[in-house]
């Protein structure tokens, strides 16, 4: 093999390793990232207080984009909360789509 070809392969491997490390560092401090656990299950990083804050603000008629700014959550998290959860009359929330 030529020297240039070997150098290109080495550079590609180094770039791949640097990219993996950069990805770990950039997502380590990111809030509300769901981490994949065993067998494809996801762990939720949202607290009950965050869910209740979003649902209460939504009930007041505040748009989801504004809720995201106020709570510091990502817009996708606010969207998911608004479609996955529902306030109950007792003062809590219910997960939609579950019979529990």
Spell out a b/e string for 42-63, using b for 16 or more CB atoms within 10 Å of the CB, else e: eeeebeeebbbbbbebbeeeee
> pLDDT tens track of the chain, all 100 residues?
688 888 888 888 887 777 766 655 555 555 555 555 545 555 557 888 888 899 999 989 999 999 999 988 888 889 988 888 887 777 777 777 665 5
pTM of the model: 0.51
- 3-class SS at 82? helix
Residue 63 has what pLDDT?
92
pLDDT at position 57 is 92
Domain layout of the chain by residue ranges:
3-42, 47-95
């Amino acid at each position: 093999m030529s020297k240039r070809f070997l150098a290109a392969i080495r550079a590609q491997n180094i770039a791949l390793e640097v990219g993996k490390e950069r990805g770990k560092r950039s997502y380590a401090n990111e809030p509300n990232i769901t981490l994949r656990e065993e067998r494809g299950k996801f762990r939720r990083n949202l607290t009950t207080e965050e869910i209740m804050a979003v649902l209460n603000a939504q009930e007041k008629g505040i748009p989801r984009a504004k809720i995201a700014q106020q709570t510091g959550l990502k817009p996708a998290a606010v969207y998911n909360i608004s479609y996955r959860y529902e306030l109950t009359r007792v003062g809590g929330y219910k997960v939609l789509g579950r019979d529990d």
